Amino acid sequence: MSELMNDQENLDMYDSTDSNENSTVERCLTFESGDLILYISTKHVIEIINNHTITTLPLVAPYIKGIINLRGQVLPVIDLELRMGKGCINSDEKTCIIILDINSVSLGILVDSVRQVVDINLKNVRPIPLKRQQKLLDGMVIMDDGSVFMSIDCQALSSTDE
Amino acid sequence: MDNGMESMLDTYLFETNSLLDNLDEMLVKDEKLGDFSSDDVNEIFRIMHTIKGSSAMMEFGSLSSIAHHIEDLFFYIRDKGIDSLSSQHKKELFNLMFRSEDCLRGQVEKVESGEPLDTNMDAFASEINNFLKKISNAPTDASADAKALADTAKTDSSASAPSSEGNLPEDPGAVCFIHIFLDEGIGMENLRAFMIINALKECELDFRYYPEHMESNPDSCATIIEDGFYMAFDSEDTAAKAGDLLRTQNHIRSYELMTASGPEPEPAPVAPAPAPVADTAGQPAPAPHPEPAPKAPTPAKQAPATPVKQNLISVNLMKLDDLQAIVGEIVITESMVTSAPELNQLSRDAYDNFMKSARQLRKLTDDLQDIAMSLRMVPISGVFQKMNRIVRDMKQKLGKDVRLTLIGEDTEIDKTIVDSIQDPIMHMVRNAMDHGIEDDVNDRIRAGKNAQGEIVLSASHTSGEVMITISDDGQGMDPDKLLAKARERGILTKPESEYSRKEALGLVMLPGFSTNQTVTEFSGRGVGMDVVKKNVESVGGVVSLSSELGKGTTFLMKIPLTLAIMDGMKVTVGSSIFTIPIANIRQSFKIQTDEIIRDENGSEMVERMGSFYPIVRLHRFYNIDTEITNLEDGILMWIESSDRSFCLFVDDLIGEQQVVVKPLPVFLNSFELKNYGVGGCTILGDGNISIILDVPSLYTATLENI
């Protein structure tokens, strides 16, 4: 929790220093998956749910956790950690599903925990220097407190080819 | 194009298409009889008139002009009576009409796809005109008059104006009349006239008008073009006022104030609409006497028919889909509510009361579901009627004499299914015409069959399914020839001698199989029956065929009534719940270990009713963890789909339930689960999701691709 508070302060600082610039700021939801802090633009986020029963599907890639029934709509759920080729998420009470709408493809991503919404200046986003190593990330941004947020490649997320 | 225009266009297309369907049906029927009935002549005239009017309104010039010419043609035919045409002419007329129908349809299709219309229709129009000239010249004595009449009807209304002065309508109360002529070629004259009359009535003038009922009687149009129309006034003052008002109205070429010189002795326009026609036609040509007879009843028949209120509306299919989806949700939510665990905390009385209301609700939702389903049901006759046309066209091109018999046209079936089985049926009918029926009539006669071939298209309901059969009494299929052909194509999967008769016939449904040596215009592209099979299976149906050499071939399609809702059996495997369509289930049973038979690979089989069936362990195929791995502990479901039959091993049965079928999210398409037995999913009463198994693809995935 203290970490969260810190972030909040940093964020405020960040805001005050950069707000004068003519910048492209986007509101983003940050969340944790594995040991990474990731963010995704809030324009893609529909809602965050937890404690949902996931129906597993046979014969799909392991990172597809299954499908859920969200008020009559059937949505696929992806385990983000598995999608990035790491171990699977240990479910606990902080685990939740973020429902996204990427170019009218609806899907849920299973993440360790959700942090908060921050404004991120897209000008500060740097490409990841390691070429063709990443499956799902397409940028990184360093915050004023030195923590690094990674950007999720929405296109890669909404397609199933690896 | 704005919204209003768009919906008008929708309505226009819907109307025009149904009119053309109507026309098609009529033409095919009449051609069989070799004659037009006078009712049909009137009907065609009316159809063309409506198409002309609405096309002109939508500014589709080419459509309007073709319809206009056909209207002229039928005006003449109606006038002279269809009997005045020789049989040769009738034949030509049928061909001409079929071609005009195709031409109109072509234009309508262009409108539908948003392409520009053909602007130049003169060639076709002059063809119609030539035919009109031909038939109007042919009848012996009445030729000149008839031609003159046809011309008169078309354009020359001024010539008939003087003669019509004497045609004052019979109205003893009237003091004076106003006789009005409309501008030439404005279209929908009767309605324009009526609008003028309405405008005058709105100014609180009291008068009567002739022809009566012009607004609802499209026939009056011709009369108004030719003779203008009358307004009868009780006083000269009103007539004068009306005269002033008429100057402000559009589309009036001329009008004339006339005083009534007492009751007119001339009996002419008693029944205003047909009378002037009967008058002019009857006098110079006494020869075709029988024609007034059929003509007389027609106006009487049409008059009561037109004011019938339209009780049908056309609804966008999308809206029905939405309705269906919502009704499905309601059904699910209802069972979620009624099976909520919180209900157990209610007192006994309260619980009873609740259940009483819940039962009431269940009944209502069931009714709602039935109605929502029935909205999507359409009779299959639309598809069947189209086959009439195909048989007719092919009959002429192939020179085979074949009749098409339709049975059970009024069988109702889900709209989306109808759309997807139209092409398969068309294909099979073409195949029957092309390959089924013998090329040489003598072959038929030698085989002791009727010289005229027959194709029977029938539809009937069985529980939850529609059976459609297409059978011909042609030469049938030769299994040996089929096998030889399949060998040539290299699509045999086992030694020829091992093919049973049924399997050999089934070869025609394999991709790349076409028995015709040469590709014809109608069939034999080698993408035939396998596509048919695929299409039918995509709507959950099955195709099978039986054929006897020399006797004919029968294709049988079994198609579910609807795709959206089906009866399913819920089974568990581990923690997953699967739904198997009830239609696919033959039996469920438990077995003892000693009943299991194994082959050299250890694949398990079981004997049921004298045949052996493979056992598919669902938990193994889908890699699901379950405690029940011993065949004795679980349940075997004997399932089949067309010719594929096997036993599925599951943990347990939960029960039967009607389920609303939902597709899997498109995101998962790349996994091609459809090819691995997953047909879709459904939401259960408790909000959980169950996977619906697709039996044919499950069979293919588990037993054919090892």
A102-118 residue pLDDT tens: 888 889 999 989 998 99
Nearest residue to B635 via CA among B588, B575, B698, B582: B588
Please check the confidence at residue B165 and state whether its pLDDT lies above 60.
no
Helices assigned H by DSSP within B581-627? 618-621
* Mean pLDDT on B126-155: 58
How far off is chain B from A64, nearest CA to CA, in Å?
A: 9
E runs forming strands in chain A = 25-33, 36-41, 45-49, 64-70, 73-79, 96-102, 105-111, 113-121, 137-142, 148-152
How far off is chain A from B114, nearest CA to CA, in Å?
A: 27
Tell me which chain B residues have a C-beta less than 8 angstroms from the C-beta of A105.
666-667
Number of H helices, E strands in chain A: 3, 10
Predicted local distance difference test score (pLDDT) of residue A121: 87
Strands B576-581 and B565-573: antiparallel
Chain A: residues touching B (Cβ < 8 Å) = 53, 55-61, 64, 67-69, 72, 74-76, 105-107, 158-161
User: Is the CATH number of domain B3-135 3.40.1350.10?
Assistant: no
Tell me which chain B residues have a C-beta less than 8 angstroms from the C-beta of A160.
667-668, 670-671
Cβ contact A55–B665 (<8 Å): no
* Mean pLDDT on B249-264: 65
Tell me which chain B residues have a C-beta less than 8 angstroms from the C-beta of A74.
662, 664-665, 681, 683, 689
Beta bridge partners of B646: B639
pLDDT band at A133 (very low <50, low <70, confident <90, very high): low
Q: pLDDT, tens digit, for every residue of B368-390?
A: 888 887 888 888 888 888 888 88
E runs forming strands in B549-595 = 552-560, 565-573, 576-581, 585-589
Tell me which chain A residues have a C-beta less than 8 angstroms from the C-beta of B662.
74
pLDDT band at B309 (very low <50, low <70, confident <90, very high): low
Predicted local distance difference test score (pLDDT) of residue B360: 92
Predicted local distance difference test score (pLDDT) of residue B248: 67
Q: Of A52, A53, A60, which to mutate for an interface test with B (greatest number of B Cβ within 10 Å)?
A: A60
How far off is chain A from B689, nearest CA to CA, in Å?
A: 6
Tell me which chain B residues have a C-beta less than 8 angstroms from the C-beta of A109.
none
Cβ contact A105–B666 (<8 Å): yes
What is the distance between the alpha carbons of residues B362 and B354, in angstroms, rounded to a whole number?
12
The SS3 assignment for A25 reads strand
Please check the confidence at residue A71 and state whether its pLDDT lies above 90.
no
Predicted local distance difference test score (pLDDT) of residue B653: 93
B111-115, B171-175, B251-255, B639-643: the lowest-pLDDT one: B171-175
Please check the confidence at residue B272 and state whether its pLDDT lies above 60.
no
Predicted local distance difference test score (pLDDT) of residue A29: 94
What is the distance between the alpha carbons of residues A15 and A20, in angstroms, rounded to a whole number?
9
Work out the angle between the directed axes of helices B3-33 and B38-57 (0-180°, nearest 10): 160
Helices assigned H by DSSP within B207-285? 220-227, 236-246, 275-282
Taking CA atoms, what residue in B is nearest to A52?
B688
Nearest residue to B682 via CA among B566, B588, B603, B540: B566
Predicted local distance difference test score (pLDDT) of residue B413: 84
Q: Report domain B565-704's class.
A: mainly beta
Tell me which residue in B671, B681, B689 faces A59 most closely, judged by beta carbons.
B671
Q: Do A138 and A157 meet the contact criterion of CB atoms below 8 Å apart? A: no
Cβ contact A53–B687 (<8 Å): yes
User: CATH code for B380-560?
Assistant: 3.30.565.10
Cβ contact A107–B687 (<8 Å): no
Beta bridge partners of B299: none
Cβ contact A56–B576 (<8 Å): yes
Predicted local distance difference test score (pLDDT) of residue B150: 45
CA atoms within 13 A on the CB side of B575: 8
Q: Distances from the Cα of B241 to the Cαs of B171, B212, B245, in angstroms?
A: 20, 22, 6
Neighbours of B277 (CB within 10 A): 20
Please check the confidence at residue A3 and state whether its pLDDT lies above 60.
no
Please check the confidence at residue B695 and state whether its pLDDT lies above 50.
yes
- What DSSP element (H or E) covers B432? none
User: Is the CATH number of domain B317-377 1.10.287?
Assistant: yes
How far off is chain B from A60, nearest CA to CA, in Å?
A: 6
Looking at residue B66, its amino acid is I
Please check the confidence at residue B676 and state whether its pLDDT lies above 50.
yes
B187-196, B339-348, B553-562, B672-681: the lowest-pLDDT one: B187-196
* Mean pLDDT on B184-210: 72
* Mean pLDDT on B527-545: 77
Q: Which residues contact B122 (CB under 8 A, 6 or more apart)?
A: none
Please check the confidence at residue A18 and state whether its pLDDT lies above 50.
no
Cβ contact A74–B681 (<8 Å): yes
Q: Distances from the Cα of A75 to the Cαs of A54, A56, A101, B333, in angstroms?
A: 10, 12, 11, 18
A135-144, B303-312, B525-534, B665-674: the lowest-pLDDT one: B303-312
Predicted local distance difference test score (pLDDT) of residue B694: 87
Taking CA atoms, what residue in A is nearest to B620?
A58
What is the distance between the alpha carbons of residues A5 and B328, in angstroms, rounded to a whole number?
46
Task: Tell me which of B561 and B415 has the higher pLDDT.
Answer: B415
Cβ contact B676–A58 (<8 Å): yes
How far off is chain A from B361, nearest CA to CA, in Å?
A: 20
Please check the confidence at residue B263 and state whether its pLDDT lies above 60.
no
Pinpoint the residues of chain B covered by CATH 1.20.120.160. Answer: 3-135
**Could you tell me the pTM of the whole model?**
0.50
Predicted local distance difference test score (pLDDT) of residue B515: 52
Pinpoint the residues of chain B covered by CATH 1.10.287. Answer: 317-377
Please check the confidence at residue A99 and state whether its pLDDT lies above 90.
yes
How far off is chain A from B329, nearest CA to CA, in Å?
A: 7
Cβ contact B624–A57 (<8 Å): no
CA atoms within 13 A on the CB side of A55: 25
pLDDT band at B307 (very low <50, low <70, confident <90, very high): very low
Q: Of A49, A53, A54, A56, which to mutate for an interface test with B (greatest number of B Cβ within 10 Å)?
A: A56
User: CATH code for B142-277?
Assistant: 3.30.70.1110
| Sign of the dihedral defined by the CA atoms of residues B592, B593, B597, B602, in that order | positive
Pinpoint the residues of chain B covered by CATH 3.30.565.10. Answer: 380-560
What is the distance between the alpha carbons of residues B453 and B429, in angstroms, rounded to a whole number?
13
The structure tokens 């004795």 sit at: B632
Cα-to-chain-centroid distance, residue B9: 19
Tell me which chain A residues have a C-beta less than 8 angstroms from the C-beta of B681.
55, 67, 74
What is the distance between the alpha carbons of residues B485 and B526, in angstroms, rounded to a whole number?
12
Q: Do B546 and B413 meet the contact criterion of CB atoms below 8 Å apart? A: no
Nearest residue to A89 via CA among A106, A75, A109, A108: A109
How far off is chain A from B581, nearest CA to CA, in Å?
A: 18
Chain B: residues touching A (Cβ < 8 Å) = 325, 329, 332, 575-576, 621-624, 662, 664-668, 670-671, 673, 676, 678, 681, 683, 687-691
Tell me which residue in A74, A106, A159 faces B689 most closely, judged by beta carbons.
A74
What is the distance between the alpha carbons of residues B542 and B559, in angstroms, rounded to a whole number?
7
Predicted local distance difference test score (pLDDT) of residue A45: 93
Please give the mean pLDDT across all residues of chain B.
Answer: 76
Cβ contact A57–B673 (<8 Å): yes
- What DSSP element (H or E) covers B38? helix B38-57
Please check the confidence at residue B284 and state whether its pLDDT lies above 50.
no
Please check the confidence at residue B159 and state whether its pLDDT lies above 60.
no
Tell me which chain A residues have a C-beta less than 8 angstroms from the C-beta of B576.
55-56, 58
